[in-house]
Amino acid sequence: MNEMAPPRGDMNLIGVASRVGVALILLAAALGKIELPQNFAEEVAAYRVAPVAWVNAIAYLLPWLEVVLATSLITGVWRRESRLIVLVLLVGFTGLKIYSQVAGLHISCGCFSGTFAFLSKIFEGPRGIALNLGLLALVATDFYSDARRNAVASRTDKS
Amino acid sequence: MLIRVFVILLISALLGIGTATFRGLPWKPDVNAMAQRAALGDAVERRQKELRASVGVNLDQFKALIAQGAVVIDARAREDYEKAHLRTDFGAPVLNVEPEHIGENLNRLNELLGQPLVLYCNSDTCELAEMLYIRLEENGFSGMKIFFPGWEGITAAKLDTVAGPDRWTGSTGVGQPPAGEENADPSDSGASETQTGEAEHE
């Protein structure tokens, strides 16, 4: 084992903290959108990247996907798959934020609404892009901690 | 792994479909309204700098305008307005006019021609107030102001708010305190209904 690497228990803790952090952000993002779907539909439309006919469907389905993914990350049920979808979503969201920044769109990021609307401000503009990259780093950390745990477990099994 | 990914997506889709069906939400958006909003969005983009420099008011100016009898128009979505909106000191009306629904509101809005108007929407990044400004301009209104911090600014400043629909149909209460409303206590348990009682004063 690499002597510089943190001990296995610490990696587990970091992994759990990372995925719970991501899951809580996902839940906060989802609940406000479920509360006010029309608001979210308008925010999706404001990006002007999805066909207008789809925006309501996206507004109804995406928040529930976030809820399911957050639940899975917290409970550990099908975590690998959920993490993969979260990764894809985060890459997509970050891409959209970069696009809106580059295109100079003065729009709400569509990240949070309703009860959690106050978080939207934090996730807007360049700071929002940085925070998204931070979330991506958390997911990557969870990936890494899981991979390490599996590697150690398989080595233990072999010995 | 792919099957599990598919199942996760399927469960989410079923939950989304279930919620939308249960709440009676439309699956197809009002494309005309959205197209109109997109066109307005372009117009706002072209005039954003100019509007922000010339018609924006800060919190003190916003309060002063209201005290002088300006009519406040909330440009947010109806659901947001009904959940909570600004309540002016004298119970003067705070209208709810979404930019793409201005046509349906022209009758009552025309009663406000010549009145000072202040618009607001959700927050500094919300464009609904600017869209409404442009639509009002197209319909002969002038001299409107926009409180850009919007609903976020209103709640941050702890201004009085109230819940309920917009039932204002005439000019009662505009620019003057309606009878019996001067000492309205915002913490009054009936406050959530009194704001929209403007129509009832008629």
As a whole-number percent, the residues of chain A with pLDDT over 70 amount to 91
Mean pLDDT is lowest, of A95-104, B40-49, B132-141, for: B40-49
In this complex, which of A52, A60, A84 lies closest to B19 when CB atoms are compared? Answer: A60
Give phi and psi for B145, each to the nearest 5: -120, 160
| pLDDT for res B157 | 93
Contact A124 B125 (CB under 8 A): yes
Give phi and psi for B139, each to the nearest 5: -100, 20
Tokens encoding A128: 């929002």
The tens digit of pLDDT for each residue in B46-90 reads 888 888 889 999 999 999 999 888 999 999 988 889 999 999 877
Total length of chain A: 159
Give phi and psi for B93, each to the nearest 5: -65, 140
Listed in sequence order, the DSSP H helices in chain B are: 2-22, 31-54, 59-67, 78-83, 102-110, 128-138, 150-156, 191-194
Q: How far apart are CA A37 and CA A42, in angstroms?
A: 9
- The chain-wide mean pLDDT, for chain A, equals 84
Return the bridge partners of B94, or none: B72
- HSE-CB of B185 using CA atoms within 13 angstroms: 4
The average pLDDT across A14-21 equals 87
Q: What is the DSSP string of chain A?
A: --TTSPPHHHHHHHHHHHHHHHHHHHHHHHHHHHH-HHHHHHHHHHHT-S-GGGHHHHHHHHHHHHHHHHHHHHH-TTHHHHHHHHHHHHHHHHHHHHHHHHTT------S--GGGGGGTGGGSHHHHHHHHHHHHHHHHHHHHHHHHHHHHHHHHHH-
Query: How would residue B182 be classed by pLDDT, with cut points 50, 70 and 90?
Result: very low
The tens digit of pLDDT for each residue in A39-86 reads 788 888 888 788 888 889 999 999 999 999 999 999 989 999 999 999
Contact A56 B35 (CB under 8 A): no
Query: How would residue A146 be classed by pLDDT, with cut points 50, 70 and 90?
Result: confident
A29 touching B, CB under 8 A? no
Return the bridge partners of B196, or none: none
Contact B29 A53 (CB under 8 A): yes
Return the bridge partners of B120, or none: B74
Q: How far apart are CA A131 and CA A144, in angstroms?
A: 20
| pLDDT for res B187 | 38
- Preferred mutation among B3, B5, B14, B31 to probe A, highest tally of A CBs within 10 A: B5
Q: What CA–CA distances, in Å, run from B195 to A101, B74, B163?
A: 39, 13, 8
The average pLDDT across B119-142 equals 90
Measured on CA atoms in the order B99, B101, B105, B110, is the torsion positive or negative?
positive
Q: Does residue A24 surpass a pLDDT of 90?
A: yes
Q: What CA–CA distances, in Å, run from A69 to A111, A115, B191?
A: 16, 20, 40
Contact B18, B109 (CB under 8 A): no
A100 touching B, CB under 8 A? no
- Preferred mutation among A27, A68, A100 to probe B, highest tally of B CBs within 10 A: A68
The average pLDDT across B102-130 equals 89
| pLDDT for res B15 | 95
Collapse the DSSP code of B145 into the 3-class scheme (helix H, G, I; strand E, B; otherwise coil) and give the result: strand
Does the pTM of the predicted model rise above 0.80? no
A143 touching B, CB under 8 A? no
Contact A81 B37 (CB under 8 A): no
- The chain-wide mean pLDDT, for chain B, equals 81
Residue B88 or B8, more confident: B8
Rounded-to-10 torsion of CA B106, B111, B116, B117 = -30
| pLDDT for res A10 | 66
